[in-house]
Chains A and B, each alone.
Chain A
Amino acid sequence: MYVAAPLLLSAFMFSCGVYGVLARRHGVMLLMAVELLITSANLNLIVFSQLLKNSLGNIIALFIIAVTAAEVGIGIAIVMLLYRQRSTVAVDELHLMKW
């Protein structure tokens, strides 16, 4: 099987993630899109691990999963905090840092 196929799938997932990150207002949905980005990266690592017959890709993917878990925890906490203080989860309403 051509190795390009899973890589293209990974690229597709990544692009969907990019779309989600750019287009979603809902804080939680934005975080979901970030998950897609990360999973696509993991898929890439696993495919290359198989292609190069090297377990390094697996190890790095494991670390990425762990770091992602931390990221999601903090991300959700921030969304909750945001909701409690502003009664909204729309990220584009957070534009205090503008001119």
Chain B
Amino acid sequence: MALPTIAFWILAAFTAVSTLFTVLTRNVVHSALGLAASLIGAAALFILFGAQFVGLAQILIYVGAVVILFMFGIMLTGTAVRPVVDNDQRPAAALVALAVFLVLAAGIVSSFGTKKVRFQVAFPTVQLGHQLFTTWVLPFEAVSILLLAALVGAIVLARRD
């Protein structure tokens, strides 16, 4: 087995386990930490698949900002210790999730079961940057405005009058 493949399996196992831990643990803070681990694993996978910039952005934004934001949410609502974690439709939810996975897996296996992928193309940041600021400049600006609007909206929602 080639080195990237081995790396993939290790990272995949890490990601899968931490994902499962995120949704199963009954401790809110542990869940957030599990999420961070899962997202780091995903970021590493991104890098493995040649998307260096997206992987780094994933670490910066998700792990650096989003998970911290979750931590703040947990802290400020002071709900880390109270057992309000799950609702009473857990079995049904598990069934639905399983069904989703089975359908997806069936689709994936039947469509791409024999297709192979090689870790050969890398997408350098320079190339992405060029594309972002030429072809995709309009959506890029739109997303900037969206972020600004979300910022304003979050402040409006969360401030005390």
Contacts and interface: CB of A to CB of B under 8 A. Distances in A.
Q: Do A and B interact directly, with beta carbons closer than 8 Å?
A: yes
Interface of A: 1-9, 11-20, 22-29, 31-33, 35-36, 39, 42-43, 46-47, 49-51, 53, 55, 57-59, 61-63, 65-74, 76-81, 83-84, 88-90, 92
Given A73-B150, A90-B84, A22 B89 contact: yes
Given A32-B32, A62-B128, A74-B157, A16 B23 contact: yes
- B interface: dominant SS: helix
Given A43-B42, A46-B46, A5 B77 contact: no
Given A4-B109, A15-B98, A66-B146, A36 B12 contact: no
B117 A26 contact: no
Contacts of A28: 28, 32, 70, 73-74, 77, 79
| Max chain A C-beta neighbours (<10 A), residue from B70, B85, B132, B146 | B70
Interface string B17-41: 0011011000010011001001100
A6 B12 CA distance: 8
